[in-house]
Amino acid sequence: GTLTAGLTAGILLGSLVATAINSIYTPVEVSDYAWRIPFLLGGVFGLMSVYLRRLLHETPVFAELQLRKALAEEVPLKAVLRDHRGAVALSMLMTWLL
């Protein structure tokens, strides 16, 4: 839910910024300098998220697992690719077909 909402909001925000830039600036201005604006905005959002992330605390459950060293020993991606090859391949195929 939250992840999908965040992705959708990001796509919407990107589309709105692109629409605003193309509405405000001429094609020549976009080619000259205005194409940099979305990257600058992305940098600002990135720095804000790093700052906000530093203020967050780990959940008590994760902190307890970390103390007990009960976290996964191997990389989760490796386990997923090893144990669920068919599902990963199907997901990739369906994504590429979109």
Query: What is the Cα–Cα distance from 77 to 98, expressed in whole angstroms?
Result: 23
- 75 inside domain: no
Cα 4 from chain centre: 11
| Helices 2-24 and 37-55: angle between axes, nearest 10 degrees | 150
pLDDT of res. 97? 84
- 24 inside domain: yes
- DSSP class per residue in 16-32: HHHHHHHHHS-HHHHHH
- 72 inside domain: no
pLDDT under 70: residue ranges of the chain = 70-72
- 38 inside domain: yes
- 37 inside domain: yes
**Domain membership of residue 35 as a residue range:** 2-56
Query: What is the Cα–Cα distance from 19 to 4, expressed in whole angstroms?
Result: 22
Domain count, the chain: 1
pTM > 0.85 = no
- 8 inside domain: yes
69 in helix, strand or coil? coil
